[in-house]
Amino acid sequence: MSVTEIQLFQILKAKLGEQEAEQLVSFVKAEVKSEFDNKREVLATKEDISNMQKTIYVVGLIQFLAIIGSVIGIVNFMIK
């Protein structure tokens, strides 16, 4: 048990009794762990962010090249 768990247990023990306090602390600990695991799956890792930055860079570069190609095509059309 961590310090906060022991503190919670001591507070609940005075009000509920030892066995009930222990069960409640275990339940709260399991719920917090479950909620943390759910939130952790949603968070992006450094690797995810790095991959996203690379993708954004590549897409931007492709868009830039497409714009340059379009401008060259329009200029060629206007010259002829």
Query: How do residues 28-75 score in pLDDT, each as one tens digit?
Result: 999 999 988 888 878 888 888 999 999 999 999 999 999 999 999 999
Task: Give me the pLDDT at residue 58, please.
Answer: 96
User: How far is the CA of 27 from the CAs of 10, 24, 50, in angstroms?
Assistant: 15, 5, 38
- In this structure, which long-range contacts are made by residues 73-78, counting pairs with CB atoms below 8 Å and at least 24 apart in sequence? none
Contact 9, 21 (CB under 8 A): yes
Among candidates 31, 29, 37, which has minimal Cα distance to 7?
29
Phi, psi at residue 2, to the nearest 5°?
-85, 175
Q: What is the pTM of this model?
A: 0.51
Tokens found for residue 60: 């931007």
